[in-house]
Amino acid sequence: MGNRRVSAYRIRKGQPYDVRQAARALGVSKPTVRRWTKEGLVAIEGVFPPIFRGVDIKDFVRRRAESRKQPCGPGRIFCFRCKSPKAPALGEVDFYAEGPMLGRLVGFCPDCLATLIRRTSRAKLTAAAGNLKVTFKPAESRLAGTFEPGCNVNSEGD
């Protein structure tokens, strides 16, 4: 569970929390909260065991989440296997329309050959694709492959 996002929605700004209460409210373990004190989570001075203000916990979780973001920028797609934004292999992607406004850019990671997918709108397609070569693919039919009737045996008209 090392890369799980932590949400501080259950932390109240005006309430104090000890390590156990903060861990329970955030859904993490007590050693994680103790490690966070070494990483910048500020406890109230002169109090033992450590007590944290709710506003400090919320601020720490928000700053931690912001520091972990890796914006892709134009011509890059996030690879979930490599855990970093990558330019697709050969500088080529396919655009699959998912309706009149939205679609997805699909390419391959040059390092691990995983499939890279980036959702975008047609209006922002040129900004998202950057200098990549985009091939437009037709939308897939939702009824494709339904040559045989369903499994309902009562539909024969007995």
Q: Do 56 and 81 fall into the same domain?
A: no
Question: Which structural domain, as residue segments, surrounds residue 94?
Answer: 77-137
Q: Do 20 and 38 fall into the same domain?
A: yes
- Say if residue 157's pLDDT is above 60: no
Cα–Cα distance, 36 to 30 (Å, whole number): 10
Beta bridge partners, 152, equal none
Q: Are 18 and 24 in contact (CB under 8 A)?
A: no
Element spanning 25, H or E: helix 19-26
Q: Are 82 and 52 in contact (CB under 8 A)?
A: no
Lowest-confidence range among 22-31, 64-73, 100-109, 117-126? Answer: 64-73
| Chain-centre distance for alpha carbon 77 | 12
Looking at residue 47, its pLDDT comes to 87
Cα–Cα distance, 69 to 83 (Å, whole number): 11
Q: Are 79 and 111 in contact (CB under 8 A)?
A: yes
Question: φ, ψ for residue 52 (rounded to 5)?
Answer: -115, 140
Q: Do 94 and 117 fall into the same domain?
A: yes
3-20 mean pLDDT: 86
**79-132 per-position pLDDT tens digit:** 888 888 888 989 899 998 888 888 888 999 998 889 888 899 888 888 888 888
Answer yes or no: is 32 within a domain. yes
61-81 mean pLDDT: 85
Q: Do 81 and 55 fall into the same domain?
A: no
CATH of the domain at 61: 1.10.1660
Answer yes or no: is 4 within a domain. no
Looking at residue 1, its pLDDT comes to 44
Cα–Cα distance, 97 to 120 (Å, whole number): 10
